[in-house]
Chain A
């Protein structure tokens, strides 16, 4: 039972490069989310998706692009990475129903030099 997986787990890149973080879930949950975790800011929502081909901005979407061509995949792309995007990125999916529990991936630690 893989659940929700992220790749890569660790990535070092340079300013200006494009980076894509992958997220895959095996439950067919409709809702998926991308958060970034930073000291002093906690978890902040970047983008979320209600279903395939439906995405929406969260609190901090600038500099990021998402797509959702298939229900199970929700990649996050940094088109031109900046140092301020150094962070730990978490993907999550939401269990259907009113309880709305989030299930998180293990996180992707990105360093932009």
Chain B
């Protein structure tokens, strides 16, 4: 069963424009959600987690239990934000990842 859905495989925005990467999840329990990012030629790394309610590199993500969503947002995209972004759901000891969204920020 698809637990994490990222509907956009590719997303392009212009520098300075707002960006939103969508993530929806399916889980009956209390979810723990994360965003991971993979920059070109780098390893996957944690960007942010919902329990921290933090802003990292200008990105924020709010857990909406009613809509079962955890969309990643940034008000002004930068060229260095170009990367592959994965939404992940932790259930117990396992992490389930979405199919990823490749973000390109056009100069």
Which stretch, A11-19, A41-49, A68-76, touches the partner chain B? A41-49
- In B1-32, the 8 Å CB interface with A consists of 6, 9, 32
Query: How many chain A residues touch the partner (CB < 8 A)?
Result: 24
Q: Known interface pairs A42-B86, A48-B93, A50-B93. Does A101 touch B99 (Cβ–Cβ under 8 Å)? A: no
CA distance A31 to B94 in the complex (A): 10
Q: How far is the CB of A42 from chain B (nearest CB, A)?
A: 4
How many A-B residue pairs have C-beta atoms within 8 angstroms? Tell me: 49
Residue of B nearest to A95 (CB): B46
Contact of A102 among B9, B46, B98, B99 (CB under 8 A): B46
- B93 engages A107 (CB within 8 Å): no
- B96 engages A45 (CB within 8 Å): yes
Decide if B56 is an interface residue (CB 8 Å cutoff): no
- A104 engages B97 (CB within 8 Å): no
Decide if B68 is an interface residue (CB 8 Å cutoff): no
- The main secondary structure of chain A at its interface with chain B is strand
Interface readout for A82-106 with B: 1 if CB under 8 Å, 0 if not? Answer: 0000000010100000111110111
Q: How far is the CB of B57 from chain A (nearest CB, A)?
A: 16
- B32 engages A43 (CB within 8 Å): no
Query: Which residues of B approach A to under 8 Å, CB–CB?
Result: 6, 9, 32, 34, 36, 43-46, 49, 51-52, 86, 88, 90, 93-100
Query: Which residues of A approach B to under 8 Å, CB–CB?
Result: 31, 33, 35, 40-45, 48, 50, 58-59, 90, 92, 98-102, 104-107
